[in-house]
Copies of this chain bind each other. A is one copy, B any other.
Amino acid sequence: MKGEKGERRKKELLKIAYRMFIEKGYDNTSIDEIITEAGIAKGTYYYHFPSKEATLEAVIDMMISEEAERAKNVISTPIPVPQKIVAVTMSMRPQLEESGIAGTLERSENIVMHEKINLRILDVTVPILTEVVKEGISQGIFDCTNVEERVKMILIICQRIFDSGSFNERDVEVFIDMTEKTLGAKTGTMSFIKELIH
């Protein structure tokens, strides 16, 4: 039976590693720095994680599963379908903004981690959004086939355009237009997005 004590320590370690990976990049964060920060011995670190790589995976797992949780809660909320779509999408990167480190994933030392995270987010988010869009179709808000593929492509653009923060008003307009047309919505259905992004 795994002790609770160990599990708690592991969680702590995970949070520290998460923050450091984000702040300095995975490659630039050495095990020595992690254990110094955590105030533990090297052996303790390796007691909890088999390798640095495994720690990265665990960090991403933790992050994604927390976000997926939030995203699923959004679904059952009684808000209009278009808003749901945006809410689910948004729920996938709140922590970064909380911690005031939005944009850090874009730094070149974080590319590898960013890619891993984005792929995992796609895996998790596509099925959720597919459900939401289908709900929209049944309500006559959207009208399209191949929902999954459409959702995937919209998300890809989202990640690429909005992760970096270096987008402009025209980017947003085009994104709204593409989303509406891709999902077969009436013009204006998604235009509330413009308000969300000052």
Footprint of B on A, CB under 8 Å?
108, 111-112, 115, 146, 148-150, 152-153, 156-157, 160-161, 170-171, 173-175, 177-178, 181-182
Contact = CB atoms under 8 A, between A and B. Distances in A.
Contact of A182 (B111, B160, B177): B177
A144 to B, nearest CB: 8
B181 A153 contact: no
By CB atoms of chain B within 10 A, which of A156, A157, A174, A181 has the most? A174
A66 B146 CA distance: 37
B173 A146 contact: yes
Residue from A148, A171, A177 having most chain B Cβ neighbours under 10 A: A177
A157 B175 CA distance: 12
A196 to B, nearest CB: 18
Given A112-B112, A181-B181, A175 B153 contact: yes
A160 B119 CA distance: 11
A130 B154 CA distance: 21
Contacts of A178: 150, 153, 178, 181-182
Contacts of A170: 146, 148-149
A174 B160 CA distance: 19
